[in-house]
Amino acid sequence: MTAIAHTDMPAPLFGAAASTRRTFYAGFWRRLMAAAIDGALILALVVSISVAAGVSVGLVNDNVVVNKDGRTILLSEFAKPHVVVTRDGPLTTTVETTTATVGLQTIHSVVTRTTVEPNGGARRRTSTGANLSMVPSPLALVILFVLWLLYTSVLESSRLRATLGKLAMFIRVADEQGHRVSLPRALARNSLKLLSAIPLCIGYLMAGWTAKKQALHDILAKSTVEVAVG
C-alpha cells in the first residue's frame, strides 16, 4: 500500500488582519480650525481676568485718569509723560505722550492741547484732544502663554488626547506609533510651536505636504495629529 503523507495547512492570520487599521492624519485646515477655537477660549479667559482687574481709562479736566480698585489716579503718576511744545505765531501746541503699564494692560495716551493767544488783550482759547489705546501688558502676554501651554499640554496628554478645539474637529494628538503622548512630550511639542511660527509660519504650513501631515513641531517632538475614528 502506498502511504499518503498529510501536511498541516497554516492557519489564516485573521487576528493580525483584524488588528490592523488605517490611520488618517489631520490636514492643515482642520488643525487651523481647532487652533482658532482654542485660541478664542483662552483669549476670552484672559479678557475676563483683565476686566475683573477693574482698570478703566478716561479723560477728566483735560487729564488722563485711571480708575482702579475704586480710586481715580492720574496716568502721569504711573509714568512720566513726554512733553513736546511747538509755537507758531499765536498758536502754541503741547503734545503729552504717556505709556504706562497698569496691571494686565499697557495704556498709551497722546493728549494734544492747542492754545490761541491773540493780540489786543483778547481771551486766550485752548482746545484739547486725546487719543487713548489699551493693549495687553507683557505680564498679560506671559499669563496668556502659560495658560495656553498648560491647557493644550494637559488635555493632549490626558485620556482625551485632545483640546476642546481638537475634540470639536474630531482630531487628537498621538506619538508616531499612534499611542497617547506623555505630559513632558506634550509640553515640548507645544513649546516647539514657537519655532514653527518663525519665519512666516512655515513650520505650520509643513502639515500641508509632509507624509504624515506633520508640522515642524510634530516632527521635532516625534508626534502626529490623527483623525479620531473610534
Confidence of residue 16 (pLDDT cuts 50, 70, 90): very low
Question: Is position 4 within any domain?
Answer: no
Q: Is 69 found in the same domain as 124?
A: yes
Q: Is 215 found in the same domain as 157?
A: yes
Whether residue 225 has pLDDT greater than 70: yes
Domain that holds residue 81: 56-135
CA dihedral 218, 223, 229, 230 (to 10 degrees): -150
Question: Is position 175 within any domain?
Answer: yes
Confidence of residue 116 (pLDDT cuts 50, 70, 90): confident
Reported as a single tens digit per residue, the pLDDT across 195-204 is 999 888 899 9
Task: Find, among 209, 219, 216, the residue nearest to 195 by Cα.
Answer: 216
Question: Is position 2 within any domain?
Answer: no
Measure the CA–CA gap between 112 and 74, rounded to whole angstroms. 16
Question: Is position 8 within any domain?
Answer: no
Whether residue 135 has pLDDT greater than 50: yes
Question: Is position 160 within any domain?
Answer: yes
pLDDT at 17: 42
At 142, list the grid cell.
506671559
Q: Is 145 found in the same domain as 43?
A: yes
| Average pLDDT score over residue span 131-150 | 86
Q: DSSP letter for 179, please.
A: P
Contacts of 111 (CB under 8 A, 6+ apart): 59, 62, 63, 64, 81, 95, 96, 98, 128, 129, 130, 131
Residue type, 82: H
pLDDT at 183: 96
Q: Is 182 found in the same domain as 104?
A: no
Question: Is position 7 within any domain?
Answer: no
Chain center to CA of 80: 31
Q: Is 184 found in the same domain as 166?
A: yes
Question: Is position 76 within any domain?
Answer: yes
Confidence of residue 143 (pLDDT cuts 50, 70, 90): confident
Percent of the chain past pLDDT 90, that is, above it, reads: 39
Boundary of a domain, candidates 102, 135, 168 = 135
Q: Is 91 found in the same domain as 41?
A: no
Q: Is 104 found in the same domain as 153?
A: no
Q: How many helices (H) and strands (E) does the chain have?
A: 8, 9
Concatenated DSSP letters of 209-224: TSTT---HHHHHHTEE
Measure the CA–CA gap between 64 and 33, rounded to whole angstroms. 41
Chain center to CA of 87: 45
Boundary of a domain, candidates 93, 117, 135 = 135
Number of structural domains found in the chain: 2
Q: Which span out of 52-56, 93-97, 133-137 was modeled with the highest average pLDDT?
A: 93-97
